[in-house]
Amino acid sequence: MRNGTTLLLLAAIAVAGVAYLTLGDAGPAPAAAPALTSVSDAPSAMVIFPVGEKPNPEGVGMKPVAFNHLVHENRIESCESCHHTGDTVACTTCHTVEGRAEGKFVTLAQAMHSPNIARQMQENTPQSCVGCHTRQLQQQECAGCHNVVKPARPETYCNTCHKVNGLTKADMVAGIAGSLPDDRNAELAADTLKARENPTQLQPTDGPYKVMIDEIADHYKASMYAHRRHVASLMERIEDNSLASAFHNQPTTLCSTCHHNSPLKGAPPKCGSCHPQRINPANPERPQLKAAYHLLCMGCHKGMNVARPLNTSCVTCHKHSEARLADSAAATLGGE
Ligand code: HEC
Ligand code: HEC
Ligand code: HEC
Ligand code: HEC
Ligand code: HEC
Ligand code: HEC
Ligand code: HEC
Ligand code: HEC
Ligand code: HEC
């Protein structure tokens, strides 16, 4: 085992030197991200296995997880955010599948997924993988979409973490028993991380340039929607974020932000094909068409602090109808 405490101090000093890379920095991302360098004694990536209290000769359990230590130690300000006891030992020393006394019976699954900010322990607040990632979604560039996306978290979500390329049953059994050689562990981790980069995504040019939204152009003029510019702008804002690219790993993930609840093959169904102009009493949860548009457009603009159009600036979206809008806005807003 390594001498964790001394390392932690050295590493904290080293990390201060690369502070421009840390989360708190709201400045623009550098044009070409500098190659990351290690400031810890940790391997740059490792596979974490579901270590249990009982012998597990069949290797039963969730698939193990390849963890990119290098990106995390560079992006997260302090080692203690994760190594919350101050010892840079494996989490499974204290958190196992069943839980053990050293970890106050906090199980491995809780330590890795707990959604809450746990209470402080020795002045550090333990953060799980999923708990911290969920907080990342509050950043402005993420909040717009994540304001309007209901997390479905299907199996592809679990498998973003729980997947190791080239893993054999023998690797799994050895990994759980703690006898997998370090170089084999490192090899598996490196192969998996490589495959995680740059998943195939539909591009802005796979959608229309502009769309005329006029299904309910009843009181007001139709809205011309700059489709391609929107998709391009959203993708550009997050292209340097490895967390986003690892999890947006289905070709249609980003399109499904707006084209939800429907497979995106060919042309997606219009919003109006599922959102009727009046609420269907059989389906009171589903917003009617006008509300569906407004909630989507404005929900994202609000989350991203878009300066123009303001949600109250009706004419930016509803062009050339200023006089009429002013007349009837008060009567219409909030009503059917
Ligand atoms: C951000 C990464 C991440 C995501 C996403 C994630 N997990 Fe995990 N999970 C881990 C890590 C790391 C471990 C510990 C290593 C291991 O057990 O494979 C773990 C452990 C577990 C365990 C305990 C080990 C066992 O075999 O009993 C279960 C169960 C589990 N995960 C289920 C899930 C399910 C189901 C999902 C999707 C709903 C999911 N996880 C999504 C990272 C993740
Ligand atoms: C985002 C969370 C996170 C941050 C930040 C982080 N680590 Fe880690 N570290 C981990 C995880 C998870 C493991 C793998 C634990 C396991 O195998 O159970 C690990 C493993 C290690 C190991 C190898 C432990 C062993 O014996 O297997 C060392 C050493 C280490 N980290 C040092 C550091 C240092 C020093 C820093 C700060 C510069 C740091 N870590 C920052 C999460 C983190
Ligand atoms: C030396 C033992 C030890 C090590 C090593 C350790 N933990 Fe913990 N962990 C604990 C104890 C004890 C608690 C319970 C704290 C309490 O309730 O006061 C805990 C609690 C947690 C919690 C809070 C869970 C919840 O549901 O509130 C998380 C998250 C967590 N640990 C993550 C980790 C991660 C990730 C690692 C590895 C990077 C790790 N721990 C390494 C002992 C340890
Ligand atoms: C304290 C916050 C925090 C914790 C804890 C944390 N992450 Fe992350 N994770 C991040 C950030 C920030 C990024 C990178 C964003 C960027 O590129 O700037 C990231 C990136 C990732 C990525 C994509 C990058 C890659 O190459 O793999 C995966 C997958 C991931 N984390 C898994 C995990 C797992 C598994 C754990 C737990 C063992 C974990 N994370 C714990 C904050 C965290
Ligand atoms: C263009 C819209 C869009 C933007 C911008 C966006 N996301 Fe997502 N993201 C999605 C969609 C859609 C899903 C899939 C939701 C689901 O099925 O659970 C998703 C899923 C995720 C997930 C896994 C599911 C979850 O709830 O944890 C993570 C992690 C994630 N995004 C991270 C990010 C990060 C970090 C950013 C900002 C740097 C970001 N996203 C920006 C649309 C977006
Ligand atoms: C971010 C863009 C946006 C803003 C800002 C906006 N709307 Fe809309 N609104 C839309 C879209 C898109 C539609 C659907 C257009 C259609 O199908 O004709 C719509 C539809 C409507 C409709 C139903 C169509 C009709 O002709 O009856 C009304 C009423 C309406 N908006 C009123 C307002 C008022 C009042 C404001 C200012 C408080 C406003 N909107 C601000 C985007 C916006
Ligand atoms: C930010 C929200 C948003 C995103 C992201 C998005 N779209 Fe759209 N898209 C819309 C809206 C709104 C419409 C108009 C729907 C209507 O008229 O009911 C539309 C319409 C379309 C249409 C139909 C055009 C027509 O003339 O009928 C296609 C095709 C399309 N989108 C493809 C895509 C593809 C492919 C992606 C991913 C690359 C994507 N969209 C991402 C909001 C979005
Ligand atoms: C294939 C059917 C379908 C299509 C097409 C569709 N929606 Fe939805 N929408 C739903 C369902 C289902 C819900 C969830 C509420 C419910 O249970 O009825 C929903 C909910 C919503 C909500 C409420 C927030 C939420 O996620 O629960 C908004 C806003 C919304 N839709 C906007 C839109 C917009 C804008 C479009 C077009 C770009 C669209 N929807 C296209 C089926 C659809
Ligand atoms: C997922 C996020 C998101 C959604 C959903 C969204 N927007 Fe936007 N919108 C933006 C961002 C970000 C900008 C800032 C301008 C840029 O980056 O290009 C913007 C800018 C605009 C602008 C001013 C710039 C321009 O293109 O003229 C208009 C008008 C607009 N949006 C209309 C709409 C309408 C109408 C809808 C709903 C059909 C909508 N937006 C849905 C993110 C979104």
Q: Give me ligand 7 centre to Cα 264, in Å.
A: 10
**Residues within 6 Å of ligand 4 by CB:** 65, 67-68, 71-72, 75-76, 81-82, 112, 127, 129, 132-133, 136, 161, 193, 196, 241-243, 246
Same domain, 224 and 160: no
Query: 185 and 253, same structural domain?
Result: no
CA–centroid distance, residue 243 to ligand 8 (Å): 26
Whole-structure pTM over 0.75, yes or no?
A: yes
Could you tell me how far CA 76 lies from the centroid of its own chain?
A: 16
pLDDT digits (tens, 9 = 90+) for 55-69: 999 999 999 999 999
Residues 33 and 172 in one domain: yes
Which one, of 305, 307, 303, lies nearest residue 257 by Cα?
303
Mean pLDDT, residues 262-286: 88
Question: Which among 196, 217, 233 is the end of a domain?
Answer: 196
Q: What is the pLDDT of residue 8?
A: 41
* Domain shared by 171 and 95, yes or no: yes
Instruction: State whether 15 and 154 are in the same domain.
Output: yes
Q: What is the predicted pLDDT for the residue at 215?
A: 80
Do 128 and 262 have their domain in common? Answer: no
Q: Residues near ligand 1 with C-beta < 6 Å?
A: 48, 50, 61-62, 64-65, 97, 108-109, 112-113, 129-130, 133, 153, 157-158, 160-162
* Domain around 173: 4-196
Distance 333 CA to ligand 3 centre (A): 50
Q: Are residues 304 and 157 in the same domain?
A: no
Angle 155-161-163 (CA atoms, 0-180°, nearest 5)?
80
Is residue 76 within 6 Å of ligand 2 at its C-beta? yes
% the chain with pLDDT above 70: 83
210-269 pLDDT, tens digit each: 999 988 777 777 788 999 999 999 999 999 999 999 999 999 999 999 999 987 777 899
CA 91–ligand 2 middle distance (angstroms) = 8
287 lines ligand 8 (CB under 6 A): yes
List of residues 6+ apart from 293 with CB closer than 8 A: 213, 223, 271
CA distance 274 to 288: 9
Find the mean pLDDT for residues 279-306.
93
Mean pLDDT of the chain: 84
Q: Supply the CATH number for residue 103's domain.
A: 3.90.10.10
The pLDDT score that the predictor gives to residue 121 is: 65
C-beta of residue 9 within 8 angstroms of C-beta of residue 79: no
What is the whole-number distance in angstroms between the Cα of residue 86 and the centre of ligand 9? 45
Last residue of a domain, one of 196, 212, 246: 196
Residue 195 half-sphere exposure toward CB, CA atoms < 13 A: 15
Same domain, 106 and 87: yes
227: its two tokens = 């489709």
Residue 48 has pLDDT above 80, yes or no: yes
The pLDDT confidence band at residue 33, using thresholds 50, 70 and 90, is low
Looking at the structure, tell me whether residues 211 and 186 fall in a common domain. no
Is 122 in the same domain as 85? yes
In this prediction, residues 269-282 reach a mean pLDDT of 92
Domain end residue (candidates: 137, 170, 196): 196
Residues 124 and 252 both lie in one domain: no
Number of domains in the chain: 2
Cα of 40 vs centre of ligand 6, distance in Å, is 54
Output the residue whose Cα is nearest ligand 7's atom 29.
Answer: 267
Backbone angles phi and psi of 88, in degrees to 5: -85, 60
Q: What percent of the chain has pLDDT over 90?
A: 63
Are residues 61 and 131 located together in one domain of the fold? yes
